[in-house]
């Protein structure tokens, strides 16, 4: 499994988590759509990382969810 597939799987896990707020899930769905686009990998990763950075700065985010977002960002940074 590639790092991109691992990142998408981690996003799916967060989307299924009932403790993640709806507004965060909407942004995660957007990130997943970006990663599934037919575009150059570096462009997709850059867009996704920008979105993840914006989400992780949300003050209402639970620490566990924030850590999961950082893990996804780490996976994407390896690409």
Question: With 90 as the cut, is the pLDDT of residue 1 above it?
Answer: no
Cβ(7)–Cβ(75) below 8 Å: yes
CA–CA separation, 9 and 60 (whole Å): 24
CATH of the domain at 14: 1.20.1440.50
The values of phi and psi at residue 70, to 5°, are: -65, -35
How long, in residues, is the chain? 79
Cβ(31)–Cβ(52) below 8 Å: yes
Total structural domains within the chain: 1
CA–CA separation, 11 and 5 (whole Å): 10
- Type and span of the H or E element at 26: helix 22-35
Residue 41 binned pLDDT confidence (cut-offs 50, 70, 90):
very high
Q: What is the mean pLDDT of the chain?
A: 94
Residue 39 binned pLDDT confidence (cut-offs 50, 70, 90):
very high
Determine the structural domain holding residue 69 and report its residue range.
3-77
């Amino acid at each position: 499994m590639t790092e991109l597939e691992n990142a998408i799987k981690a996003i799916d896990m967060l989307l299924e988590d009932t403790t993640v707020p709806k507004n965060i899930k909407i942004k995660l769905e957007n990130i997943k759509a970006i990663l599934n686009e037919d575009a150059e990998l570096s462009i997709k990763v850059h867009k996704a990382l920008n979105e993840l950075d914006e989400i992780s700065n949300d003050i209402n985010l639970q620490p566990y969810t924030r850590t999961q977002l950082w893990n996804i960002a780490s996976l994407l940074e390896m690409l």
